[in-house]
Amino acid sequence: MVKLTDDQFDLYTCTSTGKSIPVRRFTWTNQSKISVQVITYGATTTSIKIPDKKGVIKDIVGGGNTIEEYQKAQVYFGATVGRVANRIANGQFKLFDQTINLSKNHGKHQLHGGFLGFDKVIWESYVSGNRVVMSYHSADLEEGYPGDVVVNATFELTENNEFLVEYKATTTKPTYVNLTNHSYFNLAGHEAGASELYKHVICINADRITDVDTDCIPTGKLLPVANTVFDLQIPKSLGDIIAKVPKSDGFDHNFCVNKGTEQGTAFVGRAYHPDSGRMLEVYSNQPGVQFYTANFFPENPKILSGKGASYCKHGAFCLETQNWPDAPNHDNFPKMILVPGETYCHNVAYKFSVKN
């Protein structure tokens, strides 16, 4: 049986009104002693605790104990990211014959929805059985995007040790939507750092990646992973390969998920930490996954902190299921457009287990 409770996580102060808004926290616990917490600020996953092969329970996702810690970090810890996750080149795209100019919060580009993306707002919430549904209304022209978009994010922990996330969205005008969950994982424990991350064995079900320039903007080319450091179809230890990633301090690449002829949920990837025995498997209906190894975390761990820990470069990894980055600017990428009358639907399952 899964137990679901809620309480107040913190207070969020609205910058425009100065009003303090309670941030709700929802906590699931199942009989396998796995627990998950999600808050209404950014529809953010703040904690995932699972036991290791000796029964020792650790929190395996980075985050904060207060709203202030999340705001200071500015690294999207566990957040629901949108309206469009990842990068949009030059903060611009064409929608039919119209050029749309977006906010530019990442140099000359837009990253993860702009200055006030979905990760920095308070979501409405209600409970339906064992599920928590959070909703947000993104107004027309918010960060430059056309259309009023209503988003629902549904979260659930199951007795089968799966954390299920589903995103749905509708719009009043043609627009682009691409959401993701930006959780940072370290299966040794969120505070364990790079030395333990390098022990992780990673597998990603993809035979191609999207080529990128020095700004991590896709060039439009698709590169086969065979005989390269990006071939993670055969599991590899991160410590053996992370320094070999060309033109980068680690992985920050979109992997094109192998789905064959199926259009539903597919196996995306797996991470395994041998010392603890903890394993994470990811399944999704999305065509891509951004594999990121916290390359932009500071070298000095005292700069970035949360939940009583100091976070540093290569201290965690992300497997962000999503559409391919900058898809609106590439005709050969999967379509990202959402039009009135249709529903955007993105589901992802995080399955946890322990190997002795």
- Could you list the active site residues? 182, 320
Q: What CA–CA distance (Å, rounded) separates 163 from 123?
A: 19
| 231 marked as part of a ligand binding site | no
| 184 marked as part of a ligand binding site | yes
Q: Phi and psi for 334 in degrees, rounded to 5? A: -55, 145
Nearest to 289 by CA among 273, 311, 312, 266: 266
Q: Report the DSSP beta bridge partners of residue 237.
A: 201
State the amino acid at position 159 in one-letter form. E
Q: What CA–CA distance (Å, rounded) separates 137 from 139?
A: 6
Q: What CA–CA distance (Å, rounded) separates 79 from 41?
A: 8
| 329 marked as part of a ligand binding site | no
| 47 marked as part of a ligand binding site | no
Decide: helix, strand or coil at residue 203: strand
| 86 marked as part of a ligand binding site | yes
| 305 marked as part of a ligand binding site | no
Neighbours of 73 (CB within 10 A): 18
Pairing of strands 288-292, 252-257: antiparallel
C-beta of residue 208 within 8 angstroms of C-beta of residue 218: no
Annotated binding residues, written as ranges, equal 86-87, 182-184, 252
Annotated binding residues for beta-D-galactose, written as ranges, equal 86-87, 182-184, 252
